[in-house]
Amino acid sequence: MIQDRDAERIAGIVYERSGIYLQRKDWLKIKKFLEQKIASGEVKTAEDLIQKLKSSRKLLNDLLDAVTINETYFFRHKSQFDVIEKELLPKLFKEKPSVKMWSAACSTGEEPYTMAIVAKLVMERMGVRKFVKIVANDVSQEAIDKAKEGIYNRYSVRYVPKEILSKFFTKTPDGKYAISEEIKKMVDFRLLSITDERDMRSIGNRVDIAMCRNVLIYFDTESKRKALKLITENLLVGGYLFLGPSESARGVVENLKVVLFPGAIAYTRVK
């Protein structure tokens, strides 16, 4: 019988090795992972798994994959978009004529399009017209193609409020949702890698708000350090970076400082 305290100890090792904090709600999945590994004979006991996690990068990644299922959708981690909508964009729009946002590792486009929708809503509410540029990149050509196409299934739009859905999407004959042209043209998609120096320089270094979420957890320490450093270089001093809720830049980049917002944690570049 696998105990809560086994899951807790495993979560502790994961935190030590990867900096990813698995919450209590993840314990069930940790236990299932352990059960599978015992059933397949890869490990014998919880203790055995803990020892192996200390040395095996692969086992650690397998566990993280099992616990953090890769999925994306519009308005994912909504409280971060609330901060952009209520705190950051109103301030930026008061201060400057153009704002640059960046979705680093944008997958199939839900994240940068959500940025664009939020920016549109804030401009309308404030009654201002600003130049909003949104850059989005991914290493997968398939993902970029799908993002450019801008057609999504119900699952992707399940957290989009009704009035936004009817305003910025049109329903296709086969029951899917196509993003509107006005949103589409705000986003510039590029096939680039967040660990490649040349690629990252091409993004340009005047980013006000960047997101890089639920990607770094799949990287080893060295790639994570490299990606975070390159992303930070593209941020303006005073610009913000949002990571996934279970990710952190702890001890990786010196000029990134934690900023607490209501419902969200971000990093800001200080020099």
Partner 1 sequence: MRERVLSKLKNVKELPSFPAVAQNIMRMVESDDFSMRDLKAEIEKDPGLAAKILKAANSFAFNPYGKEITSIDRAIMQLGVKNLVPIVIGLSIVKLSDGLPGRFNADLFWKHSYTCAHVAKRLAKRFNLSDADAFTAGLLHDVGKLVLYMFFPEEYEEALKVAEEEGLLSTEAERRIFGIDHTEVGEHIVKYWQLPSLIAETTRYHHNPEEAKQYPKMVALIRISDLFSRAAGVYFNRDHKGIMITEDKGWIILTEGKEEVEDLLAPVLDDVEDAVQFAELAWRGA
Residue (24 or 54) nearer to partner 1, CB: 24
Residue (165 or 265) nearer to partner 1, CB: 265
Residue (18 or 137) nearer to partner 1, CB: 18
Q: Are strands 151-152 and 177-179 parallel, antiparallel or unpaired?
A: antiparallel
Q: Rounded to the nearest 10 degrees, how much is the dihedral formed by the CA atoms of 116, 121, 127, 130?
A: -10
Residue (27 or 169) nearer to partner 1, CB: 27
Q: Tell the smallest beta-carbon distance from residue 9 to partner 1 (Å).
A: 13
- Tokens for 95? 């201060």
- Tokens for 22? 């698995």
Residue (201 or 257) nearer to partner 1, CB: 257
Q: Tell the smallest beta-carbon distance from residue 92 to partner 1 (Å).
A: 12
* Helix/strand/coil for 68: coil
Of 259, 120, 247, 88, residue with least CA distance to 184: 120
Q: Tell the smallest beta-carbon distance from residue 236 to partner 1 (Å).
A: 15
Q: Tell the smallest beta-carbon distance from residue 190 to partner 1 (Å).
A: 29
∠ at Cα 182 (178, 183), nearest 5°? Answer: 65
Q: Tell the smallest beta-carbon distance from residue 15 to partner 1 (Å).
A: 7
Residue (128 or 258) nearer to partner 1, CB: 258
Residue 196 to residues 73, 103, 233, 237, 253, Cα–Cα distance (Å): 26, 16, 13, 22, 17
Q: Tell the smallest beta-carbon distance from residue 7 to partner 1 (Å).
A: 12
Q: Tell the smallest beta-carbon distance from residue 259 to partner 1 (Å).
A: 4
**Is 200 within 8 Å of 229 (Cβ atoms)?**
no
Residue (2 or 178) nearer to partner 1, CB: 2
Q: Tell the smallest beta-carbon distance from residue 268 to partner 1 (Å).
A: 7
Of 22, 74, 84, residue with least CA distance to 262: 84
Helices then strands, counting H and E runs in the chain, come out as 12, 10
- Tokens for 75? 């308005």
Note the residues at the interface with partner 1 (CB under 8 A): 3-5, 15, 19, 21, 23-25, 79, 83, 86-87, 90-91, 240, 248, 250-251, 257-266, 268, 270
Of 266, 267, 262, residue with least CA distance to 79: 262
**Is 33 within 8 Å of 52 (Cβ atoms)?**
no
Residue (80 or 114) nearer to partner 1, CB: 80
∠ at Cα 82 (71, 130), nearest 5°? Answer: 105
